[in-house]
């Protein structure tokens, strides 16, 4: 994909449904009694992997037109043994959350994903699930493929070593099958979509600060899900609208759950002209967002803010490269164990464009404001790196190339179409 320097982005767009909420709508819909109608579902490859896994366990799932999905729930104990190993593709969310569910089933199962998934840390899930009594093994007790056999689970209290919604969710989902309450203590609040949806389905979930307790329910009752637009996908256009001169972009119905909206807070702190309007709540808070091009300045990003914008850090690094002054990203070592090492990937690709960036042990330092030039950018088979560098290309001088651009299909199959719609003109 070739991308030219842009003279301005204009328009009003809708970005696809939230990936985290879409995954959970299928998983919890499958475990509920009754039928779940999901609207705004993300038809990205990751969420299709989740659908595929649950279909292999006997759940009827209809995928309609217009991002509608219908899940025919089989109840907490209605999943069936799959005839083959479950394949989770490129999706860390599918792999980790489903492990928690599988730990409570009465049949053995094994699962794995693609080459990237086989490198991502699973020991963080194996350890607490074993404490609950799960019979789960992985390669060196750290990696996929995972094998899970039937066992009795008990409730535990577990302090997470990292603020991870996937780890928290895996434990809470296993907790649905435990003989008593399960408590998870997070170092900082991570996205709470699992807790919200469990409550919506009638399950008792108590949260007191960073301490979350799930009480095993007799059943979950199906409830329809309206998936908000994904703030992680909107982030690409928020940054593009801010750094490309003469731009004004509106994104409709963006999910602004307070555990996810750190990107807006940081861009506003950097001086971005961002307006939120039309606030409403449909299980998850949503609003429309307008961004206009503005002069940005460097900021420090770290601490409890990190889990609220972990997936937006690559594109925030792009914003920082076009901002005046220094931006320091710290406490973000988790970025090294995503679909790629996102710290190394962004430092390498921004440097290729001529930016002044230094890698640190848990983040990077970006001295912004240097004019950047187009280049041929690598994507490391990572959707967020591909889209971040596409945004960067819009504000670089001349022409750029995004290698292996098809990887965007993991979370945003129509990304380049949206860019065209706004006048970004990829060719
Ligand atoms: O599913 P996957 O591959 O882990 O996706 C990513 C992404 O960039 O889309 C991370 F690579 O998002 C995670 C996110 O980083 C999705 C997620 C969730 O839905 O619970 C939580 C975060 O991961 P973690 O490890 O911090 O819990």
Q: Which residue ranges form the domains of the chain, and what is each CATH number?
A: 2-16+229-421 (3.65.10.10), 19-216 (3.65.10.10)
| DSSP 8-state secondary structure symbol assigned to residue 181 | -
Q: Is the pLDDT of residue 12 over 80?
A: yes
Q: Residue range 293-319: average pLDDT? A: 98
3-state secondary structure of 250: strand
DSSP H helical ranges for 132-279: 165-175, 193-200, 231-243, 262-269
* pTM beyond 0.95, yes or no: yes
Question: Which are the contacts of 331, defined by CB distance < 8 A and separation ≥ 6?
Answer: 302, 303, 306, 362, 363
Is residue 384 lining ligand 1, measured as CB closer than 6 Å?
yes
Edge-to-edge, what's the strand order for the sheet holding 211-214? Answer: 157-159, 182-185, 211-214, 205-208
- Predicted pLDDT at 243: 98
Q: Is the pLDDT of residue 203 over 90?
A: yes
- Predicted pLDDT at 65: 85
Mutate to test the pocket of ligand 1, among 121, 166, 194, 284 (most ligand atoms within 8 A of CB): 166
pLDDT band, very low/low/confident/very high, at 242 (cuts 50, 70, 90): very high
How far apart (Å, rounded) are the C-alpha atoms in residues 108 and 34? Answer: 25
- Predicted pLDDT at 427: 60
| DSSP 8-state secondary structure symbol assigned to residue 410 | G
Is residue 381 lining ligand 1, measured as CB closer than 6 Å?
no
Mutate to test the pocket of ligand 1, among 101, 168, 309, 338 (most ligand atoms within 8 A of CB): 338
pLDDT band, very low/low/confident/very high, at 49 (cuts 50, 70, 90): very high
Please tell me the residue having the least CA distance from ligand 1 atom 11.
Answer: 338
Phi and psi torsions of 74, nearest 5°: -110, 0
pLDDT band, very low/low/confident/very high, at 22 (cuts 50, 70, 90): very high
- Cα–Cα–Cα angle for 294, 385, 354, rounded to 5 degrees: 60
Is residue 20 lining ligand 1, measured as CB closer than 6 Å?
yes
Ligand 1 centroid–CA 42 distance in Å is 15
Edge-to-edge, what's the strand order for the sheet holding 285-292? Answer: 10-13, 248-255, 285-292, 273-281
Q: Residue range 398-413: average pLDDT? A: 97
Tell me the catalytic residues: 311
Distance of CA 281 to the CA centre of its chain: 20
Is residue 255 lining ligand 1, measured as CB closer than 6 Å?
no
Query: Which of left, alpha, beta for 155 (phi over 0: left; psi -120 to 50: alpha)?
Result: beta
Q: First-to-last CA distance in the chain?
A: 6
- Per residue in 105-114, pLDDT (tens digit) is 999 999 999 9
Ligand 1 centroid–CA 221 distance in Å is 26
Ligand 1 centroid–CA 93 distance in Å is 6
Ligand 1 atom, smallest distance to 167 CA: 27
How far apart (Å, rounded) are the C-alpha atoms in residues 224 and 283? Answer: 10
Please tell me the residue having the least CA distance from ligand 1 atom 24.
Answer: 164
Cβ–Cβ < 8 Å for 182, 156: yes
Asked if the peptide bond before residue 388 counts as cis, ω within 30 degrees of 0, the response is: no
Supply the mean pLDDT for the chain.
97
Q: Residue range 351-373: average pLDDT? A: 97
DSSP of 319-380? HHHTSBEEEEE-S-GGGGGSSS-HHHHHHHHHHHTT-EEEEETTEEEEEE----B--EE--T
- Cα–Cα–Cα angle for 361, 367, 370, rounded to 5 degrees: 140
How far apart (Å, rounded) are the C-alpha atoms in residues 391 and 388? Answer: 5
Q: Is the pLDDT of residue 66 over 90?
A: no
- Predicted pLDDT at 424: 77
Name the β-bridge partners of 388. Answer: none
Question: Of 152, 102, 157, 151, nearest to 128 (Cα)?
Answer: 157
How far apart (Å, rounded) are the C-alpha atoms in residues 356 and 293? Answer: 22
Question: Which are the contacts of 403, defined by CB distance < 8 A and separation ≥ 6?
Answer: 376, 377, 378, 379
- Per residue in 257-297, pLDDT (tens digit) is 999 999 999 999 999 999 999 999 988 999 999 999 999 99
């Amino acid at each position: 994909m070739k991308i030219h320097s842009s003279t301005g982005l204009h328009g009003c767009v809708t970005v696809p449904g939230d990936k985290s909420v879409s995954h959970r709508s299928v998983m919890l819909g499958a475990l509920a009694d009754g039928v779940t109608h999901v609207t705004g579902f993300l038809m990205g490859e990751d969420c299709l992997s989740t659908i595929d896994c649950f279909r292999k366990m006997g759940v009827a799932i209809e995928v309609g037109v217009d991002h509608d999905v219908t899940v025919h729930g089989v109840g907490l104990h209605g999943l069936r043994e799959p005839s083959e190993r479950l394949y989770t593709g490129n999706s860390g969310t599918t792999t980790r959350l489903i492990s928690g569910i599988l730990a409570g089933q009465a049949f053995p199962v094994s699962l794995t994903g693609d080459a990237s998934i086989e490198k991502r840390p699973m020991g963080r899930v194996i350890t607490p699930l074993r404490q609950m009594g799960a019979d789960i093994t992985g390669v060196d007790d750290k990696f996929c493929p995972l094998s899970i056999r039937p066992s009795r689970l008990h409730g535990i209290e577990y302090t997470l070593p990292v603020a991870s919604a996937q780890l928290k969710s895996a434990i809470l989902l296993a907790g649905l099958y435990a003989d008593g309450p399960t408590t998870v203590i997070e170092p900082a609040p991570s996205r709470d979509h699992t807790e919200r949806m469990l409550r919506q389905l009638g399950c008792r979930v108590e949260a007191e600060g960073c301490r979350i307790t799930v009480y095993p329910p007799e059943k979950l009752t199906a409830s329809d899900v309206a998936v908000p637009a994904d703030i992680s996908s909107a982030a690409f256009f928020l940054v593009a609208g801010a750094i490309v001169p003469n731009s004004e972009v509106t994104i409709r119905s963006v999910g602004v759950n307070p555990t996810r909206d750190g990107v807006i807070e940081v861009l506003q702190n950097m001086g971005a002209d961002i307006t939120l309007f039309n606030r409403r709540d449909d299980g998850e808070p949503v609003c429309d967002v307008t961004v206009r091009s503005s002069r940005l300045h460097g900021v420090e990003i770290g601490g409890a803010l990190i889990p609220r914008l972990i997936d937006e850090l690559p594109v925030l690094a792009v914003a920082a490269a076009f901002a005046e002054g220094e931006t320091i990203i710290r406490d973000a070592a988790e970025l090294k164990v995503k679909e790629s090492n996102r710290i190394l990937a962004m430092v390498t690709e921004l440097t290729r464009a001529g930016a002044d960036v230094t890698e640190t042990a848990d983040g990077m330092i970006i001295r912004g404001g240097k004019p950047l030039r187009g280049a041929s950018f690598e994507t490391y088979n990572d959707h967020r790196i591909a889209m971040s560098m596409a945004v960067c290309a819009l504000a670089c001088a001349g022409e750029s190339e995004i290698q292996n651009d098809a990887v965007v299909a993991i979370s945003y199959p129509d990304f380049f179409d949206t860019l065209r719609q706004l006048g970004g003109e990829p060719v």
